[in-house]
């Protein structure tokens, strides 16, 4: 039989698309989607981290959106007016790079298209990518309020950016100035965290600088010889007795003969290198500080594209990275190169294009680090809480060492900085409304806007409230947001995202939210780990270990993928995703599917759960187990322990409901109707994790199709209810008896067969008439005798019985009626075989010549084999003795 035509196998494909479409059409995802079960004044807000409009979803997105959807569906079913805000991010550098590559492939460039033409292409990319991404999100079964979908560059959010920029500018938190910044010759200015430092095996070049008075040479060591054109000093440690006498003297830079002074500065590490350090204030962060301290000249030696300039003599016009070899060769030729050693160090790369980043002096816009102060304080006062809690350490460490945040970017794609300059009177002002035509100070029409755009994270930082209408003016009001959104949905309740963007995004939202609205933007911050492959390796295209969420859905179903991600989402631990785990979840869906099949063998439809209608002992038992599962699931959900909640559901549904509930119901048909109701309620409990199959099975067990009934997703989430400890105790005993009987039967090789009689001894036999049929049915015994412990012992001892003794009871099976000869025969045969084996091995190992000549490994193996055989022998003999 082929895969697809197999009987009794759950087929998710036909329902997923159909259900999703219905849910969305009925507006279930919207803030009033659960209106019929909404409780007064209960709101729940969570912002979707907007995916970049650069491409497709990866497995990390699947994780983060699955976890968010689980919480959102839970809260929605629990009666909260729920807003899960969707949207996408314009992702300045990343998107611009994608579009540039497209243009390159078409044989053109952004310069040829011009700014406006280029932006048209970028908008096209945005449209295509947004369609792809939201389509993929729908396949994941997630339930954000699609009608409110935003884009970080839509008109309303653009207004919010201008408004908050002005606010920050007016408050002195945004300034413009010449700073030493991180410069990518491809992407322009970067903030500190957009630079990735990577280990690099480079060289340490020792270069002679001749003293200007001709009295000799000093030797400096550098990893970047090409920067010597920008040297404006050489420094030594003032306490360095080897060299400090030279302070105040001058040296002549090789080849270009420019003279610079030897200065003393305690920044120098006397232990390292030669003790002489070349100082290049315009191209090194430390040297920049030294330069300021000593009032040195700042010589910039290459332009913003990285080409050497007039300060570099005959090397002018070369690209900075290409120039190194040439300079080294020339210095060597002229006799200035002393030696070149291998040297491991760290080199900064652009996080988007991997280009080597340069420290570079440039005039840019900055957010002052003081902007973070109140957000640091409030988070530490407990006004926001991290899950797992240890992330507050990283937050504090980073926020505490914050430097001014460079927010201007030399890009075209993004929010253009709302600052205008007057070409006539040099007036500079921020415009939060429409673009002005004249200078407000001198009325000149010769004005221009700053050509740069803002760092993407500036607008993302406003996301928790700009999407609620803050600063939007009238744009999309009543359409994408409502008047009272800020009141109802701000601060947000929860943020879920990967720990890798704690600094990029979370920290920025906290400081921008705090300063802009006076409140932290959210209460709980759940940071999940990254999805790795089954060996714990990071996924990457080059390694070929990427797991594609859509392929996975195709193979295992959306529910299986979601459940797998949830069950692996342990706080603070990487998620190692593997086919094995996905298979396990798929098997789980199949188990649920077949449980439904079983229930429907008995009756077609079942009532929704009403505890008062649960009357049979088994029904009451399963209800109590269900109530326990409700309590645990809710408890774990409330502290974002997705793995624990998922495990509880798995254990309850498979280990308790199917393995025991269904099996026991075969001995009590009257309980099946009750189990059906409990199963339907369990589908509600599981729904946030596996939305599709739960809807499907719930539907099958109820009257009517989804097309003409209310979805499971807007029904009340099961509430905690009383657990009947007494009935649990009774069934624990029943199950213990069944296991004991089965164990006993295994001893006589009748594990799977029905036997005539067995005796179970208990201390309390009050409920024996209730217990009897269950034990008989599941233990496969025609007639179970349940007796009080003290009475029967003597009778049993007088006959031949085998026994099993467990914590609370004893089971006896007579061997009189059983043909023991077969078992004894089997065991005897086994015994003989083992005897032969042991004799053979003993013979070999006692043979001196064997021990002396055989390879060590063979001897070890034989010894082990002997030990194993002896152990088995002891067991077999023990069993035979029992039958004697």
Annotated binding site for ATP: 541
Footprint on residues 224-243 left by RNA (CB under 7 A): 224
Q: Which stretch binds RNA (CB under 7 A): 208-216, 461-469, 612-620, 737-745?
A: 737-745
Q: How far is the CB of 396 from RNA (least distance, A)?
A: 8
Residues flagged as binding site: 541
Nearer to RNA, 92 or 225 (CB): 225
SS (H, E, C) 375-432: HHHHHHCCCCEEECCCHHHHHHHHHHCCCCEECEECCCCCCECCEEEECCCCCEEECC
Nearer to RNA, 482 or 597 (CB): 597
Nearest to 296 by CA among 257, 265, 272: 265
Q: How far is the CB of 708 from RNA (least distance, A)?
A: 27
Residue 275 binds to RNA (criterion: CB under 7 A): yes
Footprint on residues 530-569 left by RNA (CB under 7 A): 536
Largest CA distance in the chain: 118
Footprint on residues 334-373 left by RNA (CB under 7 A): 345-346
Q: How far is the CB of 82 from RNA (least distance, A)?
A: 25
Residue 277 binds to RNA (criterion: CB under 7 A): yes
Nearer to RNA, 65 or 503 (CB): 503
Residue 739 binds to RNA (criterion: CB under 7 A): yes
Nearer to RNA, 738 or 762 (CB): 738
Nearest to 117 by CA among 100, 130, 133: 100
Footprint on residues 812-871 left by RNA (CB under 7 A): none
Question: Could you tell me if 56 and 136 are in contact, meaning their C-beta atoms sit under 8 angstroms apart?
Answer: yes
Q: How far is the CB of 673 from RNA (least distance, A)?
A: 15
Residue 219 binds to RNA (criterion: CB under 7 A): no
Q: Which stretch binds RNA (CB under 7 A): 281-289, 310-318, 448-456, 707-715?
A: 281-289
Write the DSSP string, 602-658: H-S--PPP-GGG--SHHHHHHHHHHHHHHHHHHHHHHTT-HHHHHHHHHIIIIIIII
CA 837 vs CA 832, 863, 866: distances in Å: 9, 12, 8
Nearer to RNA, 670 or 797 (CB): 670
Neighbours of 252 (CB within 10 A): 16
Neighbours of 825 (CB within 10 A): 11
Q: How far is the CB of 180 from RNA (least distance, A)?
A: 11
Q: How far apart are CA 343 and CA 346, in angstroms?
A: 10
Residue 167 binds to RNA (criterion: CB under 7 A): no
Footprint on residues 286-305 left by RNA (CB under 7 A): 286
**Alpha helices for 146-294 (secondary structure H):** 155-170, 285-294
Nearer to RNA, 651 or 829 (CB): 651
Q: How far apart are CA 420 and CA 451, in angstroms?
A: 9
By CB atoms closer than 10 A (0-12, 13-18, 19+), residue 770 is middle
Residue 6 binds to RNA (criterion: CB under 7 A): yes
Nearer to RNA, 353 or 845 (CB): 353
Q: Which stretch binds RNA (CB under 7 A): 147-155, 466-474, 741-749, 814-822?
A: 741-749
CA 234 vs CA 206, 247, 289: distances in Å: 14, 9, 14
Residue 591 binds to RNA (criterion: CB under 7 A): yes
Question: What Rg value do the Cα atoms of the chain yield, rounded?
Answer: 37
Cis peptide before 388 (omega within 30 of 0): yes
Q: How far is the CB of 121 from RNA (least distance, A)?
A: 32
Nearest to 330 by CA among 343, 315, 350: 315
SS (H, E, C) 802-818: EEEECCCCEEEEECCCC
Footprint on residues 183-202 left by RNA (CB under 7 A): 192-193, 197
Footprint on residues 485-504 left by RNA (CB under 7 A): 500, 503
Nearer to RNA, 454 or 748 (CB): 748
Question: Could you tell me if 802 and 775 are in contact, meaning their C-beta atoms sit under 8 angstroms apart?
Answer: no
For residue 798, what are its two tokens? Answer: 């007088």
Q: Which of 404, 559, 644, 674 binds RNA (CB under 7 A)?
A: 644
Nearer to RNA, 30 or 287 (CB): 287
Nearer to RNA, 53 or 755 (CB): 755
| Total residues at interface with RNA (CB under 7 A) | 76
Footprint on residues 598-637 left by RNA (CB under 7 A): 598, 601, 636
Nearest to 457 by CA among 384, 520, 408, 401: 408
Residue 573 binds to RNA (criterion: CB under 7 A): yes
Q: How far is the CB of 407 from RNA (least distance, A)?
A: 17
- Counting every residue written for the chain, the total comes to 884
Residue 2 binds to RNA (criterion: CB under 7 A): no
Q: Which of 135, 216, 655, 704 binds RNA (CB under 7 A)?
A: 655
Cis peptide before 477 (omega within 30 of 0): no
Residue 41 binds to RNA (criterion: CB under 7 A): no
For residue 426, what are its two tokens? Answer: 């040099």
Place of tokens 């309850």: 652
Footprint on residues 364-423 left by RNA (CB under 7 A): 390, 393-394, 397-398, 401
Residue 221 binds to RNA (criterion: CB under 7 A): yes
Q: Which stretch binds RNA (CB under 7 A): 130-138, 272-280, 683-691, 723-731?
A: 272-280
């Amino acid at each position: 039989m082929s895969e697809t035509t197999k009987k009794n196998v759950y087929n998710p494909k036909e329902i997923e698309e159909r259900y999703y479409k219905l849910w969305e059409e009925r507006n279930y995802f919207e803030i009033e989607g659960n209106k019929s079960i909404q409780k007064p004044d209960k709101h729940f807000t969570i912002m979707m981290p907007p995916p970049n409009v650069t491409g497709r979803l990866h497995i990390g997105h699947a994780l983060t959106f699955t976890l968010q959807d689980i919480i959102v569906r839970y809260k929605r079913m629990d009666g909260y007016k729920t807003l899960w805000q969707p949207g996408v991010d314009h992702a300045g550098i990343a998107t611009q790079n994608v579009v540039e590559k497209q243009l390159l492939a078409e044989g053109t460039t952004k310069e040829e298209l011009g700014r406006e033409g280029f932006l048209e292409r970028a908008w096209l990319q945005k449209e295509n990518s947004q369609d792809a991404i939201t389509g993929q999100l729908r396949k994941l079964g997630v339930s954000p309020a699609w009608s409110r979908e935003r884009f970080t560059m839509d008109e309303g959010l653009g207004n919010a950016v201008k408004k908050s920029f002005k606010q920050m500018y007016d408050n002195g938190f945004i300034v413009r100035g010449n700073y030493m910044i991180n410069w990518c010759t491809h992407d322009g200015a970067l903030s500190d965290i957009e630079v990735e430092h990577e280990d690099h095996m480079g060289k340490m070049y020792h270069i002679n600088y001749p003293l200007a008075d001709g009295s000799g040479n000093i030797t400096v060591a550098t990893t970047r010889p090409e920067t010597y054109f920008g040297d404006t000093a050489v420094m030594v440690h003032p306490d360095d007795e080897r060299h400090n006498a030279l302070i105040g003297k001058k040296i002549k830079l090789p080849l270009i003969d420019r003279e610079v002074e030897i200065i003393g500065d305690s920044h120098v590490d006397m232990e390292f290198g030669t003790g002489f350090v070349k100082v290049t204030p315009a191209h090194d962060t430390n040297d920049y500080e030294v330069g300021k301290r000593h009032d040195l000249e700042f010589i910039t030696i290459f332009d913003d594209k990285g080409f050497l300039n007039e300060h570099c003599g005959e090397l002018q016009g070369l690209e900075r990275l290409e120039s190194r070899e040439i300079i080294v060769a020339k210095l060597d030729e002229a006799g200035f190169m002393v030696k070149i050693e291998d040297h491991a160090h760290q080199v900064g790369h652009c996080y988007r294009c991997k280009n080597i980043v340069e420290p570079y002096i440039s005039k840019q816009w900055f957010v002052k680090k003081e902007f973070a102060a109140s957000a640091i304080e409030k988070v530490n006062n407990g006004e926001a809480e991290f899950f797992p809690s240890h992330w507050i350490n990283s937050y504090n460490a980073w926020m505490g060492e914050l430097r001014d945040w460079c927010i201007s970017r030399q890009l075209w794609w993004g929010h253009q900085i709302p600052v205008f300059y007057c070409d006539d009177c040099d007036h500079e002002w921020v415009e939060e409304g429409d673009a002005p035509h004249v200078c407000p100070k001198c009325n000149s029409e010769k004005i221009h806007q700053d050509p740069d755009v803002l760092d993407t994270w500036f607008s993302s930082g406003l996301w928790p409230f700009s999407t609620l209408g803050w600063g939007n003016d009238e744009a999309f009001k009543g359409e994408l947001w409502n008047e009272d959104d800020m009141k109802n949905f701000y601060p947000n309740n929860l943020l879920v995202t990967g720990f890798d963007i704690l600094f990029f995004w979370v920290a920025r939202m906290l400081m921008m939210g705090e300063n802009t609205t006076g409140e932290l933007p959210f209460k709980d911050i759940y940071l999940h780990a990254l999805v790795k492959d089954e060996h714990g390796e990071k996924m990457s295209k080059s390694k070929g270990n990427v797991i594609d969420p859509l392929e996975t859905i195709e193979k295992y179903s959306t529910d299986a993928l979601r459940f797998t991600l949830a069950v692996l989402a342990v706080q603070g631990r990487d998620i190692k995703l593997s086919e094995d785990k996905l298979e396990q979840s798929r098997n789980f869906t199949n188990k649920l599917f077949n449980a439904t099949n079983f229930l429907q063998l008995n009756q077609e439809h079942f009532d929704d759960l009403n505890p008062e209608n649960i009357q049979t002992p088994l029904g009451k038992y399963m209800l109590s187990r269900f109530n326990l599962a409700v309590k645990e699931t809710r408890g774990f959900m409330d502290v974002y322990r997705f793995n624990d909640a998922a495990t509880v559901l798995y254990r309850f549904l498979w280990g308790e409901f199917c393995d025991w509930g269904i099996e026991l119901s075969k001995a009590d048909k009257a309980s099946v109707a009750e189990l059906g109701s409990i199963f339907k309620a369990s589908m509600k409990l599981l729904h946030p994790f596996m939305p599709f199959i739960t809807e499907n099975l719930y539907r099958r067990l109820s009257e009517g199709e989804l097309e003409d009934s209310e979805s499971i997703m807007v029904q009340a989430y099961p509430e905690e209810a009383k657990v009947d400890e007494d009935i649990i105790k009774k069934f624990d005993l029943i199950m213990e008896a069944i296991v004991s009987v089965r164990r006993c039967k295994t001893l006589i090789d009748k594990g799977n067969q029905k036997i005539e009689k067995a005796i179970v001894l208990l201390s309390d036999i009050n409920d024996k008439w209730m217990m009897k049929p269950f034990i008989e049915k599941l233990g496969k015994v025609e007639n179970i005798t349940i007796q009080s412990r003290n009475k029967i012992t003597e009778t049993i001892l007088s006959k031949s019985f085998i026994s099993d003794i467990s914590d609370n009871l004893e089971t006896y099976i007579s061997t009189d009626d059983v043909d023991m000869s077969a078992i004894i025969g089997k065991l005897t045969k086994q015994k003989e075989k083992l005897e032969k084996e042991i004799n053979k091995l003993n013979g070999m190992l006692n043979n001196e010549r064997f021990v002396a000549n055989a390879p060590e490994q063979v001897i070890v193996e034989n010894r082990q084999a002997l030990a194993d055989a002896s152990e088995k022998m002891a067991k077999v003999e023990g069993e035979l003795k029992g039958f004697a």
